[in-house]
Structure 1
Amino acid sequence: MTVPAPDPQAVREASLEELERLRLPLPPSQFPLVWESGDEIELRPTGEIEARIAVLHVILARCFGMPPQAAMSWLLGSHLVDLVTPPEWQFLMGGRGDHRSFVLHHDALFSLAWVLGLTKQLDPTLPVDERLVERLPQISVGETFDQWRGRILAAPQHPADAAALLDLHYCLDWAYLELEKAGRALPGLVDANAIGQRRWALEWAVVLRGPYHDEPPGWEEVDLST
């Protein structure tokens, strides 16, 4: 469902109000908006988001001891092998890459779960809901990807709500990095790495359409540099 994007200035004002509530530093006045007036927004197809959640779930299982052949078997049986990125493939099959960076994807997965309505909140002060694991594929008992999709019955967020949360995390990402640079205390139990991962997932899941937007990026192509 493609819808008109909400007023970017109004959304930004709400994001800044949330930063003030959390007593976080505010970005400079020239901090760019995520979209422009007149743009349109949509979410990636539900099946594509579900597949990304499943792949990240297998990667996390691999981080915590799942044998590579078991990971391969489940991905093959679920017809998801083609959706594994090259860096993910190297880690899944050979353990190559930054193990810690893959563990951090826990928060990206949490963010995508919120997009599909599998968790009710994405609070920047709270860690991943421990109950989320119940809503993920139960690989250890042989639940397939299709069985999982039938069990969860995803109810995606409205694109405008997801876009507003993306704008908030765009601002939060800047603020948390500033806090860490200054050695100041964080407002909750979530650090800058987690906020960055949540933003990564939202940047990927929310598709922006307009004259200044490129085609939606691949998972590894999401730009978090600004």
Structure 2
Amino acid sequence: MAVSAPDPREVRTASVEEMRRLRLPLPPSHFPLVWEPGDEVELRPTAEIEARAAILHVVLARCFGMPAQAAMSWLLGSHLVDLVTPPEWQFVMGGRGDHRSFVLHHDAVYALAWLLGLSKHLDPEQPADDRLIELLPNLPAGETFLQWRSRSLAAPRSPVEAAAVLDFYYCLDWGYLEAERIGAPLPGLIDANAIGQRRWALEWAVMFRGPYHDPPAGWEEVDLST
């Protein structure tokens, strides 16, 4: 259910202050807000976020040796085939595509797990929780999507909290790229690629309603260019 989004200027001030604490380059004063005063915000349905996390988990499993037939059978048995994007399907079935780009989705999965309340933090100074694999479907054991949903008992974050974290990662994405461009030190153990993947998941899952927002984008249509 959509709720009133927090004041974007107050959220932005908090995001910039946290970037200052991390000693990252700060975004310019004209850096756009993610939403406008008076907008509403909500998360995609929990089942949709769970499905996206599960699909990316299978894609990652293919990166690390899961046979194509096993991956396809799991997706079919879990009734998720219709939610797999064309690039993902080409990779799952035939190994076609940029292997490295799919490996990077590990951090997107981590952000989705955070949104679902399965992971406790989304700290930009820390890599994904070592327990992440345990929080996802147990593919070697044949755990289905429905069985995993029953086991995981997701407790999604509030849309207001998710919106604030999205704004932070929107700013972080700029700051990390700028730091890498100028050769400045990064504050933690992850790089701009990981930050971008986390932002990708947040941009996809957090939906705003207001006069300046387009309909929610599909996974492959998320715009990370700004």
Give the TM interval when normalised to the shorter protein. Answer: over 0.9
**1:56 paired residue number:** 56
Separation in 1 of the partners of 2:109 and 2:183? 28
**1:162 paired residue number:** 162
Q: TM-score, normalised by structure 2?
A: 0.99
* Residues matched between the structures, number: 226
Alignment of 1:170-185 (within 5 A): 170-185=170-185
**2:38 paired residue number:** 38
Separation in 2 of the partners of 1:94 and 1:136? 24
- Find runs of 4+ consecutive structure 1 residues off by over 2 angstroms: none
**1:123 paired residue number:** 123
Whether 1:3 aligns to 2:40 is no
Whether 1:25 aligns to 2:25 is yes
Q: Cα deviations across residues 56-112 of structure 1 (Å, max 9, x unaligned)?
A: 000000000000000000000000000000000110011111000000000000000
Separation in 2 of the partners of 1:135 and 1:200? 20
Whether 1:134 aligns to 2:149 is no
Separation in 2 of the partners of 1:188 and 1:36? 31
| Structure 1 alignment gaps of length 5 or more | none
Deviation at 1:132, TM superposition (A): 1.3
Alignment of 1:59-138 (within 5 A): 59-138=59-138
Separation in 1 of the partners of 2:35 and 2:41? 9
Counterpart of 1:77, as a letter, is G
Q: TM-score, normalised by structure 1?
A: 0.99
Deviation at 1:29, TM superposition (A): 0.4
Q: Cα deviations across residues 130-164 of structure 1 (Å, max 9, x unaligned)?
A: 11111100010111100000001100000000000
Separation in 2 of the partners of 1:70 and 1:6? 44
Deviation at 1:10, TM superposition (A): 0.3
Counterpart secondary structure, 2:131 = helix
Counterpart of 1:132, as a letter, is L
Separation in 2 of the partners of 1:128 and 1:95? 25
Deviation at 1:185, TM superposition (A): 1.4
Separation in 1 of the partners of 2:62 and 2:133? 15
**1:149 paired residue number:** 149
Deviation at 1:183, TM superposition (A): 1.3
Counterpart of 1:118, as a letter, is L
Seq. identity, %: 76
Separation in 1 of the partners of 2:168 and 2:105? 19
Separation in 1 of the partners of 2:45 and 2:127? 26
Separation in 1 of the partners of 2:164 and 2:212? 18
Counterpart secondary structure, 2:79 = coil
Deviation at 1:184, TM superposition (A): 1.7
